[in-house]
Chains A and B, each alone.
Chain A
Amino acid sequence: MSKFKRFSAAVMALTLVLCVGYFSVMSPTSAWFYNSGVIDSGNSFVFGDLSVDTSFTSTEKQVFDAATKFADPDEVLFDEAIKVNEILVYNSGTIPARVYADVVNTGTDKGLRWFVYDDTMLVDGSVKKTIESVLPEMTDEALYAYDKGEDGNSGHYILLNPGEITTVKIATWIEYDYVENELKNGEALDGYEVEMSLIATQDVDGALER
Chain B
Amino acid sequence: MLAVGFVGFNLLSGAKGYAVTSDSMKDTLNTGDVVFVKSVTFDELQVGDVITVASSGGERFFTHRIVEINKTDRTVTTRGDANGADDPMPTEEERIVGRMWYSVPLLGFITIGFSYVSQSAGLLILAAVAVVFVVLNSILTKSKKRRGESDE
Query: Interface code A156-185, partner B: CB below 8 Å = 1, 0 otherwise?
Result: 000000000000000000000000000000
Complex alpha-carbon distance, A27 and B61, angstroms: 8
Complex formed: what's the CA distance from A15 to B126 in Å? 11
Q: With the chains together, A16 CA to B18 CA distance in Å?
A: 20
CA A21 – CA B113 in complex, angstroms? 12
Q: Taking the complex as formed, is B138 at the interface, i.e. its CB lies under 8 A from any CB of chain A?
A: yes
User: Are the CB atoms of A31 and B25 closer together than 8 Å?
Assistant: yes
| Cα(A203)–Cα(B84), bound, Å | 8
Q: Is A202 an interface residue (CB 8 A)?
A: yes
Per-residue CB contact flags for chain B residues 121-152 toward chain A (1 = under 8 Å, else 0) read: 01000110111011001100110000000000
Report the bound CA distance from A202 to B85 in whole Å.
9
B111 and A26 form a contact (CB under 8 A): yes
User: CA of A206 to CA of B89 in the docked complex: distance in angstroms?
Assistant: 19
**Pair B88/A53 contact, Cβ less than 8 Å:** no
Closest-CB distance, B147 to chain A (whole angstroms) = 15
B88 lies within 8 A of A51 (CB): yes
Judging by beta carbons under 8 Å apart, are B22 and A202 in contact?
no
Binds B, one of A4-12, A56-64, A130-138, A142-150: A4-12
Residue from A24, A31, A94 in contact with B114 in the complex, judged by beta carbons closer than 8 Å = A24
A18 touching B7 in the complex, CB below 8 Å, given contacts A29-B62, A204-B85: yes
Q: A31 near B63 (CB under 8 angstroms)?
A: yes
Q: Mark A12-50, 1 if CB is under 8 A from B, else 0.
A: 111111111111111111111100000000000000011
B71 at interface (Cβ–Cβ under 8 A)?
no
Asked if B130 and A30 sit within 8 Å, CB to CB, the answer is no
* Cβ-defined partner of A9 (8 Å) among B24, B57, B85, B137: B137
Query: Which residues on B sit within 8 Å (CB–CB) of A51?
Result: 55-56, 88-89
B4 interfacial by beta-carbon distance below 8 Å: yes
B24 touches which of A5, A25, A27, A206 (Cβ 8 Å):
A206
- Are the C-beta atoms of A29 and B110 separated by less than 8 Å? no
Q: Which has the most chain A C-beta neighbours within 10 Å: B7, B62, B130?
A: B130
Question: Per DSSP, are chain B's interface residues mostly helix, strand or loop, or mixed?
Answer: mixed
Which of the four size classes fits the interface of chain A? Answer: 35 or more
Distance in angstroms from A75 CB to nearest chain B CB is 40
When C-beta atoms are compared, the residue in chain A nearest to B140 turns out to be A9
Known: A16-B129, A16-B130, A51-B55. A1 touches B110 (CB 8 A): no
A95 at the interface (CB under 8 A from B): yes
Question: B115 contacts which of A28, A94, A95 (Cβ < 8 Å)?
Answer: A28
Q: Are B129 and A29 in contact (CB under 8 A)?
A: no
Verify A31–B34 contact, CB threshold 8 A: no
Question: What per-residue 1/0 map shows which CB atoms of B1-34 lie under 8 Å from chain A?
Answer: 0011011000000000111111111000000001
13 example contacts (A-B, Cβ-Cβ < 8 A) are as follows A1-B142, A13-B133, A18-B7, A19-B6, A23-B110, A28-B20, A30-B21, A30-B24, A32-B22, A33-B62, A53-B55, A204-B80, A204-B85
B residues near A (Cβ < 8 Å) are 3-4, 6-7, 17-25, 34-35, 52, 55-57, 59-64, 80, 82-85, 87-89, 107-108, 110-115, 122, 126-127, 129-131, 133-134, 137-138, 141-142
